[in-house]
Structures are given as structure tokens and as C-alpha cells.
Amino acid sequence: MFIPHTDADRAAMLHTVGISKLEDLFKDVPEKYRFPTLNLPPAQTEMEIATELQEISLVNESAHDLVCFLGAGAYNHYVPAAVDAIIRRGEFLTAYTPYQPELSQGTLQAIFEYQSNVAALTGMEVCNASHYDGATAVAEAVNMAYANFRGKRNKIILSPTVHPQYRQTVRTYTEGSPIDLLGDDPHSDLKASPDGLIPLIDTDTALVVVQYPDFFGRINDYTKLAEAVHSVGALIAVSVNPIALGLLKDPGSMNADIVTGEGQPLGIPLSFGGPYLGLFATRKEFVRKMAGRLTGETVDNRGQRAYVLTLTAREQHIRREKATSNICTNEGLMALASTVYMSLLGKNGLRQVAELCFHKAHYAAERIANLPGYSLWSPTTFFNEFVIRCPAPAAEINDLLLDHDILGGYDLSQDYPELGNHLLIAVTEMNTRDQIDRFVEVLSEVNHG
Amino acid sequence: MGEPQLCDISVSGRQGIRFPHPDVPTYPLPQEFVREDLPLPELSELDVIRHYTRLSQLNYSIDTGYYPLGSCTMKYNPKINEETARYPGFAFSHPLQPVETMQGNLALMFALQEMLKEVGGFAGLTLQPAAGAHGELTGVLIIRAYHRSRGDIKRDKILIPDSAHGTNPATSAMTGLRVVEIKSDLRGNVDLESLKQECDETLAGLMLTNPNTLGLFDEHVEEVIHMVHAAGGLVYGDGANLNALLGIIRPGDVGFDVMHFNLHKTFSTPHGGGGPGSGPVGVAAHLMDFLPSPVVGIIEKGDEEMPPLYGFITPSKSIGRMKSFHGHFGMIVRAYTYISMHGGQGLRAIAEHAVLNANYLLSLIKGTYHLPYDRLCMHEFVVEGQWADAPDIHALDIAKRLMDYKFHPPTNYFPLIVHEALMIEPTESESKETLDAFADALIKIAVEAHHEPGLLKDAPHVTSVGRLDEVKAAKELVLCCGVSVHEK
């Protein structure tokens, strides 16, 4: 199968090594633990495992079978066929990190183009070769900002409207450091404007983190907040949905210092939460403080344009305990997928997808808000997600929707107890008018029933 | 010249994919928020396909050739993995769906948790970490939380052997622990005397890679673990080199308290040009309550008629969440596929043949290249890339010359404790013929080094680009199409 050795090969190789049997290779392994019996299911052939996994996958009811209005950080967008065709090429799929540039120009130039596209999209000057996901990218922004002030500023302010899982991840990452996280205590006013964070900002503040659109789908202008942050010399990070940036002003234009984001909407399948893609971009003055790999353009000894990993002295394999982060493996193939996606859509295609999301979401919101018993939770402008107040607990409504083969919204009471009857609804270009109408019709039954 | 950049071939008005017109009324856009310009390239689908197909052809990969990178386990990545991970029931599942609709995914994750626990000898396991270094961070946070939960807050020291991967000290520093380096002895083992001196009441733990990055199984592993435990510390296992141990020994049995697995090394998920990986973490019974949230468990037992109901569980003293959602599920499906195709005996055969290949290759070249630790190796080994009678030749020159022989070079200049290190890991996937050809190339290069050193110094000659000007790259910092980052 995957081991090519014949009996003759094995015998010849053992002879060359100077031992008589395979077991003799393991004399350094303590005898009492050597060769345990592994209690695993018996080996299957390719044909058998293909069938078994087909059956397991069919136990699920996925967005393939159900109409999906669920988002909250992972979105059901169309993935063009060309994306998978490229990332399945063995030359990309089975290559290692491009540490040997002479044999890795394909991967290196693709990373360079990823950096270029993400910088353009976010309005930033530099972008690294990726983090694991939207959550860990925020955690790395926190680490970078803390290190930027050499530990002299301990306050990190997290808006309560940043994705709850991102904030939880930041808490785990900063557990061992003197960082104080504030801004998102359970009594926060979720409807307050982002400028409501301004009173918390002082000269002990290293970073303020906000989301754009925020977790509830709302579009806020962070220009004033950024001004307040900069007036005390602190930094501001904005976590984005990259599809929204096809339509909306980039955070760079609001003077953000760091832009992070979940890159999944850019051509990466839902795949039950991973692998996804952590976007991370910043201004040029922070390029040496940023974690992660970077590709730079240069020339070779024949005078040709070529690419190489650069500023590697920031990284763990050189700096060890003094590195900017421990990140090694990143999301290379997913970054490639997003690059192919952005290149296929281009400036007009990404705008088109963003507008489709916007219009369809607004159509859905308008129709739901007109149902008796339902209303929109916030009057603020939104992109493709919005919160509805329902006449029954969100979980009950989702159960009913599921009976009609609809994957309902995100039940906000899981993270915000005060939002007991509230659902976060996501609409993308994948949702047809018929699907939205059917969704609204089922919702209307709740009130009548 | 090479492949043009996307921004060079962009033509205004081209678009590689189109979308349907809106089937709903359109709504006024929030003009104050609409961006003026989106400077992305404009290309046709064929432009994009040709560009990236050509770029792919500039890469070396496992699918095109032998890739003996030490500590990277560049084994064959079976094609069936790529099929199973894309089954629609998996690929279209949303991470926040009700668990009742996701019983297939959860059953698979539960089964993989059980498989990895069995392979590693652990009582509990999380699939959440995204990569090896992320697994390390998870594991070290667990060690820290364990001591603190016992009120043992003075334990702030992590011991790391000088042969360790750079991620080990970088990880420990991220958790606020103090890193102390431990020397290796003359046979490549942890130096017991150095270890003993650091085993005090401030010891949080030891991070141990075994077999280590020299490819050697620590001859005193039981004693090392015993010393750390006796001082009240815990032992972290870096599972980077687990390929050597499958069915040979279970790290949990010898006393490792926590260990990460690299699904992208040991269990054949593709490296993807740098990722994604997957770094599940296994723990001994006394650490199960500290696992990150959530882990997959059975929330309602099944019977003859009904399968069990799987769900997500938050352990009682959990360190918290390491990332959004539940881990790299796509990698989890691939690893499940691979392990299912092997079974217990099959996994043992992987380790046996990985170790056989390494020792065979070592036997072929050890008269030619200096071997700093002359022992039977495990799945990889390290030789010196320099000779006393050809001092101008460095490991880097040998690495670059190997490219002319159409091989990917080994890892070089690592581990740091070997002078001019070349670290070679053949993996079990490679045939005797491939190893013979690789050894021949290495032996020819040794001859060239002594008689025609220029061939090495100028190498590579046959690649699409030659040696690069890395100083220029770092100085001029051109990191985006047409933009040079001039720093203040």
C-alpha cells in the first residue's frame, strides 16, 4: 500500500544495517514497554474506508441538505470550482514550508500575491502569510501590541461585540501574562456606540479590539475611536469579515493599526469549523513586531526576480524563547485558496458578492421585521447579518425551522444571557428569494401557533 | 524570466467568475461606508488557472520527488484522504449547527480521539489545536493550570533540552514560564547531571522530544521522567517524531503526562506549503479536567437499537478555548481515513519501515559523512555537512547541490548542537531504489566537494532560480505587488 518494501528489499536492507530482524532496531526502547498491542479497529482497504466514511457523512444534515441561515463567524458562500482545482494540485498540496526558495518559487509567489491581495482589501501596508483562524489572529494582535510597549502597558480593551469565541481565545492565550482584559464584562451595553469604549482608554492601554461588521452584523465607523486610541499612544485592531470589505470602507481608512480577520468566506468550505484562515495585516512600522512568515521579493544570482521568506529573525526557529510568537505551521493551503478566490472574483466580483449578501439580508430583515411578534434588535446599519427579537426562545424557533429543513440562526443566549429570545441571522449569495420566503413563512407560524 | 505577478497581468474589466443578478429588491447602500476603490487584480478564469498551474510547476513536492526533510515526516499523502474530507456531508457542515444534526462528524471525532489515545497511551485528548506549536501551547498551559490548581504557584520553570525545536522555548515564553536549557550528553541523551541540578521546587515541567531531533531514542527516558516527577514536575512530550514510535512504545505508558500529535506529519495529512496542520493533545488521567473546551463526549449512552448521542463537553477545570470552533476537522477526517487503513499492525509497520529506511541510508553514507553520534538511529539521523580537508564547503552548499541531482535537501543547520548539521528523515514511503539513488548523490557530492568545490558553491544550476539575495529582500522589503516598504 504505502510501504513499498518487498521481502527481498527488507532482507537486503537489514543485512546492510548489520542486523537480522526489524525488532533489533528498537533496542534503546525499554523492553517492558516495547511493542504494545494497539487495540484499534482492523485495517480497511481504500474501498471499504471510502464506503464507511460516505455513510458517516450521510448521518449529518449539513448545509448541503438544509437551507442555511447560520453564520456567526463561518459563512456558507459559493466556492468556485477553480479554487479546489488549484489547491488539489500535488505540487502545492504536498510541498513543505518554502524554506528552500530555489525549489519553492510557486508557494512563495503565491504567498506574495496573498499578502498583496489582503493588504489591498484591508487597506494595510503589510500582511503575514496567515494565522490559524480569526480567533488566534486576534490573540496574536494582543501579543504584538503588548510586546510593542515592552510590557509597560497592561490594558487590552475588548469590545463586547467581538466574537465571543475570539474573546475566549484571547483569555486563554493571555492567562500567563500580566495583561488585564476589560471592556466586555457581562453588564456591557451591547447597543452602545463603539465610542462608548473611549472612557476606558488611558495611557496604560496597549490595544483596543473591535470587529467590523461586529458580531451582531452592524457596521460602525471606528474613526473617532481610533483617534481617541491614538491620542494616548495606544493601538487599535479591527477584526473583519473580508467579504464585507468588497463593499465597505477598509479599516485602514479608519486609521486601524492592525487588521485581523477570519478568511474562511474567501473560498474555503465550512468543513465543521476548520481548517480556516487567520488574516493578519498591519502598518509598515510594525513589520518587525508582527508574528508569522513573510515573503519578500528579491533577485537571484542570475538576475531574475524571485521570492524568499524574509525577516525570519522574528521567528521561533531562529529566536527561540525571544520570538514574536511560537507559530510555525500556518494555514498555507487555505491562504492559497483565498488568493485564487480573490483573483477570480477580482475587484468587481467581490463587490458583486458583497452586494448580493447585503440586498438579500436586507430583504430577509425587512420581511421578518414585518411579522407580528418579531422585530429588529438594533436600528444600526448592517451588512449580511442581523439580530431579530422573536416571540419565543431562540432554541424553540430553531427546532421548528429544522423540522422544515432550515438551519436557523445563532441562538445568542448562549453567550449573552440577556438576549434570550434573540437570533443572529446570516444571509449570503447562496440564499435564494424562495428560501428566504420559506424561512419567513416558518417564522410566521411561531407567532400564530 | 519567471511567471509575471497578478498585478502585471490584470486587465480592467476582466472577471474570472460571475454571480446571478439579485432575485430580491435592491436596497440603498450605506453610502457613508461604501469604499471608493478595491485594488484587486482583474483576470479571466483561464488567466488564473494558467498562472497558478505554472506557479505550481515551480514547486518541489512529495508528489514529484524525494523530500527527506528531517523532523518534518514528508511521507506520501494518500489521495483517498482528499476525497473523504470533501464528502458533502463533511465539507458543508457548519461548526455551530445543533449537535443532533452533526452526529456523523461527532462520532468520527470521538472515534479519532479514542484511536489517538490508544496509540499514545493517554486517558484524555483534545482535537482542537490547529498545529504542533498550537498543541504545545495547549499542553504547557495545561501544565501551568495543573500546578496552580494545587496552589503550587512557585513552579515557573520549564526545562528544554538544547536539541529541541525552536517552538518549545517560544511556546513556554508565551505562557510566562521561565525557560532553562538542558545540555545533551555525549551520546545525544538528556544530560542527567544537568537535569538533576534543575530539579527543584520551582520546576513546572520538562519538554522532551523523544526520539530527539538527533533521531536518537533517549537511553535514560525512564530515569529522566522519574527525576522530573520526583521533583513535582510534569513531562511534556513533543510528538513531532512520533512516526518512529507507532506500535513500538506508547509515550503515556512510560510516564509522559501530556503530548501533542502532528496529524500532518505522522498521520499523512498534507503539509500544504506550510499548513494547515493539526495538533491534537493527549493527557494522562490527572490532567483530563484541564483540557481545552470543548471535547467530544457521549452525552446519552446508546443501546442495541439507538447509537449514542455525541456532544461537546467542557472539562471542569478547562484552560479555556484555544481557537474558534472545534479544530481542523478537514484534517481530522484525513487522519481518521489513514489510521483506519492501517490498524494496529499497520501502524507498527510504518514505524518499523521508517526506522529501517533511516538506518539503511545511514549505513550507506556513514563512511563518507561524519556522524556525530554513532548509534542505531530511529526514523531520522544527523550528519555533519563539512570535512576537515574541505573546510570551505558548508552544509548549505551540499543542500543546494542536491537540488541539481533532483532531490530536495535535508533540513540543515538544525539541530543547533551539531556543527553544519544535515538532518535526514527518509520516511517509510520511500523504496530501496530511491534511498540508493539518494545515497549515490550524497557520495558523489562528497567527491565533488573535494575535487570540484565550485560545483557546490554555485549550486543549484538546474532549478528555475539560483541562490537568492536574502539581504536585498530584508533590506528593501518588497512584500506586496509593486510596493516597497520603506521603514522610518
Say whether both B319 and B383 belong to one domain: no
Of B288, B317, B340, at which residue does a domain stop? B340
Closest alpha carbon to A339 in B366, B6, B292, B13: B6
Whether B409 and A100 lie within 8 Å, measured CB to CB: yes
Give the Cβ contact number of residue A303 at 10 Å.
Answer: 10
For residue B247, give how far its alpha carbon lies from the nearest alpha carbon of chain A (Å).
6
**If residue B52 lies in a helix (H) or strand (E), which one and from where to where?**
helix B45-56
Q: Is B219 on the interface with A (CB under 8 A)?
A: yes
Distance, CA of A264 to CA of A341 (rounded, Å): 11
Minimum-distance CB partner of B176 among A14, A176, A250? A176
Q: Is B454 on the interface with A (CB under 8 A)?
A: no
Q: Which domains does chain A possess?
A: 67-78+347-448 (3.90.1150.10), 81-341 (3.40.640.10)
Answer yes or no: is pLDDT of A188 > 80.
Answer: yes
Distance, CA of B46 to CA of A143 (rounded, Å): 41
In a domain, B4, yes or no: no
- Which own/partner pairs from A30-34 qualify as long-range (CB within 8 Å, at least 24 positions apart)? A30/B221, A30/B222, A30/B249, A30/B254, A33/B249, A33/B250, A33/B253, A33/B254, A34/B248, A34/B249
Mutate to test the interface with A, among B45, B48, B263 (most CBs of A within 10 A): B48
- State the average pLDDT over residues A104-133: 97
For residue B201, give how far its alpha carbon lies from the nearest alpha carbon of chain A (Å).
19
For residue B200, give how far its alpha carbon lies from the nearest alpha carbon of chain A (Å).
21
For residue B231, give how far its alpha carbon lies from the nearest alpha carbon of chain A (Å).
22
Mean pLDDT, rounded, of chain B: 96
Say whether both B89 and B158 belong to one domain: yes
Minimum-distance CB partner of B61 among A72, A90, A402? A90
For residue B305, give how far its alpha carbon lies from the nearest alpha carbon of chain A (Å).
16
Instruction: Name chain B contacts of A305, Cβ cutoff 8 Å.
Output: 1-2
**CA trace torsion B30, B31, B33, B39 (10° rounding):** 120
The tens digit of pLDDT for each residue in A280-330 reads 999 999 999 999 999 999 999 999 999 999 999 888 888 888 888 999 999
- C-alpha cell read off for A327: 507559530
Instruction: Name chain A contacts of B115, Cβ cutoff 8 Å.
Output: 40
| Helix, strand and coil percent figures for chain B, each rounded to 5 | 40, 15, 50
Say whether both B199 and B321 belong to one domain: yes
Answer yes or no: is pLDDT of A335 > 80.
Answer: yes
Q: Which residue of A has its CA nearest to B8?
A: A113
- C-alpha cell read off for A353: 458578492
In a domain, B215, yes or no: yes
Distance, CA of A262 to CA of A119 (rounded, Å): 14
In a domain, B156, yes or no: yes
Say whether both B304 and B368 belong to one domain: no
Residues in chain A: 449
Q: Which residue of A has its CA nearest to B42?
A: A346
Answer yes or no: is pLDDT of B485 > 80.
Answer: no
Contact B361, B423 (CB under 8 A): no
Distance, CA of A155 to CA of A158 (rounded, Å): 10
- State the average pLDDT over residues B324-340: 98
Say whether both B291 and B169 belong to one domain: yes
For residue A329, give how far its alpha carbon lies from the nearest alpha carbon of chain B (Å).
5
Minimum-distance CB partner of B91 among A136, A269, A436? A269
Is the peptide bond between A275 and the residue preceding it cis, with omega within 30 degrees of 0?
Answer: yes
Whether B22 and A322 lie within 8 Å, measured CB to CB: no
Residue pointed to by grid coordinates 521570492: A307
Q: For position A319, what pLDDT does the model report?
A: 85
Say whether both B249 and B333 belong to one domain: yes
Say whether both B274 and B384 belong to one domain: no
Instruction: Name chain A contacts of B481, Cβ cutoff 8 Å.
Output: 112-113, 116
Instruction: Please work out, in degrees rounded to the nearest 5, the angle formed at the alpha carbon of residue B290 by the alpha carbons of B288 and B294.
Output: 90
Say whether both B194 and B175 belong to one domain: yes
In a domain, B29, yes or no: no
Say whether both B208 and B240 belong to one domain: yes
For residue A319, give how far its alpha carbon lies from the nearest alpha carbon of chain B (Å).
7
Minimum-distance CB partner of A126 among B172, B292, B485? B485
SS (HEC) of A196-232: HHHHHCCCCEEEEEEEECCCCCECCCCHHHHHHHHHC
Whether B72 and A96 lie within 8 Å, measured CB to CB: yes
SS3 A410: strand
- State the average pLDDT over residues A52-57: 98
Instruction: Name chain A contacts of B248, Cβ cutoff 8 Å.
Output: 26, 29, 34-35
Q: Which residue of B has its CA nearest to A314?
A: B170
Which residues lie closer than 8 Å to A138 by C-beta, 6 or more apart?
A: A162, A166, A169, A170, A209, A237, A239, A260
- C-alpha cell read off for A57: 457523512
Burial of B262 (0-12, 13-18, 19+ CB in 10 A): buried
CATH number of B188's domain? 3.40.640.10
- The number of folded domains in chain B is 2
Of B308, B340, B372, at which residue does a domain stop? B340
SS3 B237: strand
Closest alpha carbon to B395 in B164, B70, B166: B70
Say whether both B381 and B316 belong to one domain: no
The tens digit of pLDDT for each residue in B247-293 reads 999 999 999 999 999 999 999 999 999 999 999 999 999 999 999 98
Q: For position A315, what pLDDT does the model report?
A: 85
Strand A305-309 to B483-484 pairing? unpaired
The tens digit of pLDDT for each residue in B402-448 reads 999 999 999 999 999 999 999 999 999 999 999 999 999 999 999 99
Which residues lie closer than 8 Å to A125 by C-beta, 6 or more apart?
A: A119, A281, A282, A283, A284, B480, B483, B485
CATH number of B444's domain? 3.90.1150.10
Q: Is B17 on the interface with A (CB under 8 A)?
A: yes
Distance, CA of A45 to CA of A9 (rounded, Å): 24
Mutate to test the interface with A, among B32, B38, B422 (most CBs of A within 10 A): B38
ipTM here: 0.98
Say whether both B290 and B373 belong to one domain: no
Instruction: Name chain B contacts of A360, Cβ cutoff 8 Å.
Output: 22, 24
In a domain, B240, yes or no: yes
Mutate to test the interface with B, among A60, A126, A370 (most CBs of B within 10 A): A60
Q: For position B463, what pLDDT does the model report?
A: 97
Instruction: Please work out, in degrees rounded to the nearest 5, the angle formed at the alpha carbon of residue B60 by the alpha carbons of B59 and B64.
Output: 120
The tens digit of pLDDT for each residue in B87-98 reads 999 999 999 999
Whether B344 and A253 lie within 8 Å, measured CB to CB: no
Whether A296 and B39 lie within 8 Å, measured CB to CB: no
Mean pLDDT, rounded, of chain A: 96
Say whether both B111 and B171 belong to one domain: yes
In a domain, B14, yes or no: no
SS3 B389: coil
Closest alpha carbon to B419 in B447, B451, B377, B387: B387
Q: For position B484, what pLDDT does the model report?
A: 60
Instruction: Name chain B contacts of A345, Cβ cutoff 8 Å.
Output: 15-17, 40
Contact B146, B134 (CB under 8 A): no
Instruction: Tell me the count of A-B CB pairs closer than 8 A.
Output: 692
Is the peptide bond between B460 and the residue preceding it cis, with omega within 30 degrees of 0?
Answer: yes
Whether B400 and A249 lie within 8 Å, measured CB to CB: no
The tens digit of pLDDT for each residue in B51-86 reads 999 999 999 999 999 999 999 999 999 999 999 999
In a domain, B18, yes or no: no
Cα separation of the two ends of chain A: 59
In a domain, B475, yes or no: no
- State the average pLDDT over residues B45-56: 98
Instruction: Name chain A contacts of B29, Cβ cutoff 8 Å.
Output: 247, 355, 358
Minimum-distance CB partner of B376 among A27, A95, A169? A27
The tens digit of pLDDT for each residue in A244-256 reads 999 999 999 999 9
Contact B14, B40 (CB under 8 A): no
| Structural domain for B203, as ranges | 82-340
Of B340, B366, B383, at which residue does a domain stop? B340
For residue A145, give how far its alpha carbon lies from the nearest alpha carbon of chain B (Å).
14
Q: For position B111, what pLDDT does the model report?
A: 98
Residue pointed to by grid coordinates 462520532: B107
Strand B203-209 to B234-238 pairing? parallel
Q: Is B157 on the interface with A (CB under 8 A)?
A: no
Residue pointed to by grid coordinates 492501517: B342
- C-alpha cell read off for A99: 524554506
